Amino acid sequence: MNELIFLVEESVDGGYEAKAIGESIFTQGEDLEDLKVQIKEAINCHFEENNMPKMVRLHFVKDEVFAI
């Protein structure tokens, strides 16, 4: 695996939540730097060293709702 993509959303409780596409990896962080640390730790726990992704892509998702 070369790349692992995480969908990142702002949490309703503050901070950020991230979930990997195609893997059962979910984590959260108080800010973006903390989130990156948490993602690295989650990846290290989830994969064996020979299957570790080489790159992580963060895809930020923001829903915006407005009245018409």
pLDDT value for 1: 72
How many angstroms separate the CA atoms of 26 and 50, rounded? 21
pLDDT along the chain (68 residues), means of 10: 94 96 97 98 94 96 90
How confident is the model at residue 64, as a pLDDT?
A: 85
Its pTM stands at 0.88
Sequence ranges of the domains in the chain: 3-60
pLDDT for 67 equals 94
For residue 31, what pLDDT is reported? 97
Which is nearest to 43 in space by CA: 10, 17, 5?
Answer: 5
Residue 8: name the closest of 57, 64, 59 by CA.
Answer: 59
Q: What is the pLDDT of residue 48?
A: 92
